[in-house]
Amino acid sequence: MTARQDGEGRVDFRQVRAALPAAVARLLGEYERHLRLERGLSEHTVRAYVGDIVSLLGFLHRDYGADDDRAALADLDVAVLRAWLADQRSSGAGRTTLARRSAAARTFTAWARRQGALEVDPGARLVSPRAHRTLPAVLRPDEAGEVLQASSAGAAELDPEGLRDHAVLELLYATGVRVSELCGLDLGDVDFPRRVVRVLGKGGKERVVPFGVPAERALRSWLDTGRPAMVAGAARADAEALFLGVRGGRLDPRAVRRVVHDAVGSVPGAADMGPHGLRHTAATHLLEGGADLRSVQELLGHATLATTQLYTHVTVERLKAIHDRAHPRAR
């Protein structure tokens, strides 16, 4: 076993990072703080970006002999970047992973150039492979209705968890928010008179997203009946969080994933999915209902319209499937 792999052949990035020269390690720490504090990225995104750069720097100092502090990144050029990606590909990394790591490398080298750690930015010359984007699984409108109908039956028993889970499902489907955004909602973020929620998205960007009458009913039932009962049964409850776990703390994304998996799994034939699948479903149904791409982009909090355009492919595929089944001369 090398310093780069565990007993099963997986890279141990903690060991790789610990083995970096002191000057490089300090620079990496500054970059991590930049991502977290200046760019306001989520912890998950920061970990992914930093992990990719640890991999790059470990490759640089292992294979190019840059093992001292004299010139921390002196040997980092576009040839090294390409060799690193080739090494990743030979290790089994797919196109999507390589595209993400290329983007991470370009972000890092641009930052390092601004900090004076690089004389030129080698990432500017790096051409990354185009990620292969698969069409996400989505529920049909009738399947989404069955999921929510089943959860409403559980809520009708006035069990606190049942009320909460139904409100979570209704709000996810109504708004298309990310699971992290949902779990981050506070009580003050819900505006019932306007029927909107204020969401803090990626990069600390705030947006306002509307929800419908069914979601309003589910939220009111949770807040009037379910949440007080859950607070009363907890030793200590989060006073601000909109959704609570059974112990009174802010609801965890893992618990939301379980709720969605269980609810969707109760509908025969429905594609297995988590909260992100409901986000895909909401976006697809909005477009199929006549919403324009720019509006859906705003609702979902996408930085670029290109991300939202993925859903046009979903709707086209669905229309083609319907055509193949229904048109007498489709085959």
Q: Which is catalytic among the residues 47, 62, 207, 276?
A: 276
Q: Which is catalytic among the residues 202, 217, 257, 261?
A: 202
Mean per-residue pLDDT, 18-36 = 88
Is 279 catalytic? The answer is: yes
pLDDT at 270 over 60: yes
pLDDT category, 316, cuts 50, 70, 90? low
Edge-first strand listing for the sheet containing 206-210 = 190-191, 196-200, 206-210
Q: Domain ranges in the chain? A: 13-125, 141-272
Is 31 catalytic? The answer is: no
Is 318 catalytic? The answer is: no
pLDDT at 201 over 50: yes
- Residue type at 330? A
Output the pLDDT for position 41.
78
Q: Which is catalytic among the residues 101, 227, 280, 302?
A: 302
Average model confidence (pLDDT) across the chain: 84
pLDDT at 5 over 50: no
pLDDT category, 3, cuts 50, 70, 90? very low
Rounded CA separation 197/217 (Å): 14
Listed range (33-42, 99-108, 240-249) with the worst mean pLDDT: 33-42
Place of tokens 């998950």: 44
Output the pLDDT for position 132.
55
Output the pLDDT for position 194.
93
Place of tokens 């909090």: 301
pLDDT at 140 over 60: yes
Output the pLDDT for position 315.
64
CATH topology of domain 13-125: DNA polymerase; domain 1 (1.10.150)
Output the pLDDT for position 252.
93
User: Residue 27 is encoded by which pair of tokens?
Assistant: 């620079």
pLDDT at 214 over 50: yes
pLDDT category, 330, cuts 50, 70, 90? low
pLDDT at 207 over 70: yes
pLDDT at 244 over 70: yes
Mapped onto helix, strand or coil, the DSSP state of residue 135 is coil
157 vs 6, more confident: 157
| Verdict on whether the full-model pTM lies above 0.85 | no
Listed range (106-115, 143-152, 311-320) with the worst mean pLDDT: 311-320
Is 311 catalytic? The answer is: yes
Q: Which is catalytic among the residues 178, 227, 280, 285?
A: 178
Is 313 catalytic? The answer is: no
Rounded CA separation 320/264 (Å): 25
Is 302 catalytic? The answer is: yes
Q: What are phi and psi of 108, to 5 degrees?
A: -70, -45
* Closest CA relative to residue 52, chosen from 106, 8, 92: 106
Mapped onto helix, strand or coil, the DSSP state of residue 86 is helix
Q: Which is catalytic among the residues 31, 49, 173, 311?
A: 311
Q: Which numeric CATH code is attached to 141-272?
A: 1.10.443.10
pLDDT at 42 over 60: yes
Cβ-based neighbours of 58, under 8 Å, separated by 6 or more: 4, 13, 16, 17, 19, 20
314 vs 48, more confident: 48
Mean per-residue pLDDT, 136-144 = 88
pLDDT category, 2, cuts 50, 70, 90? very low
Which residues is 198 bridged to in the sheet? 208
pLDDT at 68 over 70: no
Output the pLDDT for position 8.
36
pLDDT at 71 over 60: no
DSSP 310-330: HHHHHHHHHHHHHHHHH-TT-
* Closest CA relative to residue 165, chosen from 263, 252, 98, 96: 263
Q: Which is catalytic among the residues 101, 166, 227, 279?
A: 279
Which residues is 191 bridged to in the sheet? 196
185 vs 127, more confident: 185
* Closest CA relative to residue 244, chosen from 163, 129, 135: 163
User: Residue 5 is encoded by which pair of tokens?
Assistant: 């792999």
| DSSP-derived secondary structure letter, 307 | H
Under a CB-based contact definition with an 8 Å cutoff, are residues 5 and 16 in contact?
Answer: no
Rounded CA separation 282/144 (Å): 9
